[in-house]
Amino acid sequence: MIRIEISLFLKNAPGELGTLTSLLGDGGVNVDAITIQDASSYVQNLFEARGKSLKRIASSANYSSMRRDSADFALIRIVVNKPDAALEILKEHDYILDTKEVIVIDVENIPGKLAEITKRFGEEGININYVYGSVSPGDAKCLFVFSPEDLELAARIF
């Protein structure tokens, strides 16, 4: 199923994630999936992509400065039950954010099920840019978020 993923930068400091999730919770928004990474790896990928697309590489001084500054922030990706409400709350509180469509799949928690899904992506020639998910005990289903290169094809398959 296609859903909206919200990406935002958050200051990498104690209490910031608690503030973010409290704002969403107080607004009646449930976080269905979340991933957090140091923003410096995001900046590194951005510089590499820009260097390739522009046929030039950013200066090492410029890159080093941005990477050092980006370590002060985390890149958060979330999928929520009420994306419009979440966006309103986040904008109201001046978060820097972006949205994109992703594929969200409920997965049975049995050995090989994730392999079956990811192999299907490969068989259809769909590259997965990134994936994150949850694991639940027993018979509960797991939720996995996929960012495929070909969203429309992935949506038809899954």
Q: What SS3 string covers 1-27?
A: CEEEEEEEEEECCCCHHHHHHHHHHHC
Structural domain count, the chain:
1
Transcribe 93-115 into DSSP letters. Answer: TT--EEEEEEEEEEE-SSTTHHH
Can you give the residue range of the structural domain that contains 94?
2-157
Cα–Cα distance between 25 and 48 in angstroms, integer? 36
CATH number at residue 53: 3.30.2130.10
Closest CA to 39 of 76, 93, 87: 76
Which residues, 6 or more positions from 40, have their beta carbon under 8 angstroms from its beta carbon?
Answer: 67, 70, 71
Top mean pLDDT of 42-46, 90-94, 108-112 is at: 90-94
CB 25 within 8 A of CB 117: no
CB 35 within 8 A of CB 77: yes
pTM over 0.75: yes
Q: State the pLDDT confidence band at 112, using cuts at 50, 70 and 90.
A: very high
Of 43 and 98, the one with more pLDDT: 98
Per-residue pLDDT tens over the stretch 39-90: 766 665 655 655 544 444 445 555 455 556 567 788 899 999 999 999 999 9
**Is 60 exceeded by the pLDDT of residue 118?**
yes
DSSP-assigned beta bridge partners for residue 87: none
